[in-house]
């Protein structure tokens, strides 16, 4: 970190103390990560949920001291990777027979609803873009859907919740650092929307070797500690699978719906089915399923080839009783647009992929407008 050393950062963490108890941040947690990008010092402190509340009042003072006392520092940002204490294990009398994991209680009483936290301030709706497995183009779909919703006239934010593999900065062409104002991160703006990712706070090559509770804490902070401003919808690009991050999002905020991304082949559809089932158990409406990589169209002769089969996602949507949102072709231009930081819905709106994503955004946007009208009593 050039002139800014980890020892210097730890010294500041020890010097800023609670005036009532005398405790410093390192008494209540551990320095999990420290990086410097463009002169901005980014610090992650790992702690548990209870002690995180005792650290929060110290954050503004820590950020001020880091900025003013470290040579070359232009600013500072501190995040807490906090988590709840482990739940009390079930008693033998209540434990399920035959071993294995005890099922989670997801509020599945008849007629009941999954309790959820409040929406981020001034955000109308929050939706998730999810997949049961990796490699199906979920992040590409999330980026183009969010930008497409902006083109539909909605005020849109995009949150990259894939802490272990944050791709949003590259796909959106965002290379600058988020500012910190009055203790809140300011999202970056591009392609008509606002966006935030843990990838904007760490070096691109840095591996985020975080356990599940730390990931959950980071997602909670990206929801609560970012100044999203006035938004109609916040689109959350979820990590693949059905684990901690998905549960955290459902618990931290009131999800208005989820878009499931799959490819046509059977193995991907099995995982998509699990994704639908997970959101249904969490009482989150499934807005529909998208079939990505639906077909390949040769750029030279326009011959259409269905490399992974075709129509599987539509059939799965019919089987599970959720809407089918459309087909996205497999094209090299989609990959290139993501690598170049220019979503294809903007860079090539008249291409087959650009039109497919615009159609997806139009369909989802219509559903979101109805939800917003209902919420506002319109």
* CATH number (domain holding residue 25): 3.30.70
Residue 145 lies in a domain: yes
Rounded Cα gap, residues 198 and 128, in angstroms: 17
Residues 226 and 344 in one domain: yes
Q: Tell me the per-residue pLDDT of 50-98, one tens digit each, with 9 for 90 and over.
A: 788 888 889 888 988 998 998 888 888 888 764 434 333 333 333 333 3
Tell me the pLDDT band of 265, cut-offs 50, 70 and 90. Answer: low
Rounded Cα gap, residues 65 and 75, in angstroms: 10
139 is in an annotated binding site: yes
More confident residue, 159 or 180: 159
Residue 102 lies in a domain: no
- Give the pLDDT mean for 116-145: 80
Q: Confirm if 38 and 177 have CB atoms less than 8 A apart.
A: yes
Rounded Cα gap, residues 142 and 126, in angstroms: 13
CATH number of the domain bearing residue 133: 3.40.50.300
Tell me the pLDDT band of 99, cut-offs 50, 70 and 90. Answer: very low
Rounded Cα gap, residues 58 and 25, in angstroms: 8
Tell me the pLDDT band of 194, cut-offs 50, 70 and 90. Answer: very high
DSSP state of 259: E
Residue 91 lies in a domain: no
Residue 188 lies in a domain: yes
User: Is residue 130 helix, strand or coil?
Assistant: strand
Residue 114 lies in a domain: no
Q: What is the pLDDT of residue 109?
A: 31
H-run or E-run covering 33: strand 30-37
Residues 315 and 208 in one domain: yes
Residue 176 lies in a domain: yes
Tell me the pLDDT band of 299, cut-offs 50, 70 and 90. Answer: low
74 is in an annotated binding site: no
134 is in an annotated binding site: yes
User: Is residue 297 helix, strand or coil?
Assistant: strand
Residues 78 and 148 in one domain: no
Among 82, 104, 134, the domain boundary falls at: 82
Q: Tell me the per-residue pLDDT of 321-363, one tens digit each, with 9 for 90 and over.
A: 888 888 888 776 777 777 787 898 888 888 888 899 999 999 9
Residues 237 and 362 in one domain: yes
Between strands 30-37 and 40-46, the pairing is antiparallel
How does the average pLDDT of the chain come out, rounded? 76
Residue 354 lies in a domain: yes
Residues 219 and 344 in one domain: yes
Q: What is the pLDDT of residue 347?
A: 86
Residues 209 and 353 in one domain: yes
Q: What is the pLDDT of residue 147?
A: 94
R_g of the chain computed on alpha carbons: 22
137 is in an annotated binding site: yes
DSSP state of 264: S
Expressed as residue numbers, the domain containing 321 is: 123-377
Among 54, 82, 110, the domain boundary falls at: 82
Q: Please check the confidence at residue 366 and state whether its pLDDT lies above 90.
A: yes
Among 82, 103, 134, the domain boundary falls at: 82
Q: Confirm if 230 and 194 have CB atoms less than 8 A apart.
A: no
Q: What is the pLDDT of residue 295?
A: 60
Paired residues of 158 in beta bridges = 195, 235
Residues 320 and 194 in one domain: yes
Residues 61 and 184 in one domain: no
Extract the tokens encoding 95: 């434990």
135 is in an annotated binding site: yes
Q: Please check the confidence at residue 175 and state whether its pLDDT lies above 60.
A: yes
Residues 173 and 315 in one domain: yes
Residues 179 and 38 in one domain: no
Residue 97 lies in a domain: no
- Count of domains for the chain: 2
Residues 183 and 47 in one domain: no
Residues 69 and 150 in one domain: no
């Amino acid at each position: 970190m050039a002139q800014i050393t980890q020892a210097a950062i730890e010294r500041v963490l020890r010097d800023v103390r609670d005036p009532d108890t005398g405790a410093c941040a390192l008494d209540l947690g551990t320095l999990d990560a420290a990086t410097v990008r463009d002169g901005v010092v980014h610090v992650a402190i790992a702690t548990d949920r209870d002690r995180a509340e005792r650290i929060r009042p110290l954050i503004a003072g820590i950020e001020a001291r880091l900025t003013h006392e470290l040579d070359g520092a232009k600013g500072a940002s501190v995040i807490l990777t906090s988590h709840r204490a482990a739940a009390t294990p079930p008693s033998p009398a209540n434990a399920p027979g035959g071993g294995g994991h005890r099922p989670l209680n997801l509020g599945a009483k008849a007629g009941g609803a999954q309790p959820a936290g409040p929406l981020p301030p001034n955000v109308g709706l929050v939706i998730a873009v999810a997949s049961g497995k990796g490699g199906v183009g979920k992040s590409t779909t999330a980026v183009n859907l969010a930008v497409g919703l902006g083109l539909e006239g909605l005020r849109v934010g995009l949150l990259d919740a894939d802490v272990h593999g944050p791709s949003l900065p590259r796909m959106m062409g965002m290379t600058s650092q988020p500012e910190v104002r009055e203790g809140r991160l300011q999202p970056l703006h591009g392609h008509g929307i606002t966006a935030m990712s843990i990838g904007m706070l760490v070096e691109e090559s840095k591996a985020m070797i975080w356990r599940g509770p730390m990931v959950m804490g980071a997602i909670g902070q990206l929801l609560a500690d970012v100044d999203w401003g006035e938004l109609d919808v916040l689109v959350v690009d979820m990590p693949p699978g059905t684990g901690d991050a998905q549960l955290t999002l459902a618990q931290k905020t009131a999800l208005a719906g989820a878009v499931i991304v799959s490819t046509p082949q059977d193995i991907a559809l099995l995982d998509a089915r699990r994704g639908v089932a997970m959101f249904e158990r969490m009482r989150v409406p499934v807005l529909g399923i998208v079939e990505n990589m639906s077909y390949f169209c040769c750029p030279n002769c326009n011959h259409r080839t269905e490399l992974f089969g075709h129509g599987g996602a539509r059939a799965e949507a019919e089987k599970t009783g959720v809407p089918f949102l459309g087909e996205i072709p497999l094209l090299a231009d989609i990959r290139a647009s993501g690598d170049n930081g220019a979503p294809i819905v903007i860079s090539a709106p008249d291409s087959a992929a650009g039109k497919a994503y615009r159609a997806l955004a139009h369909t989802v946007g219509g559903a979101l407008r109805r939800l917003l009208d209902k919420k506002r009593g319109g």
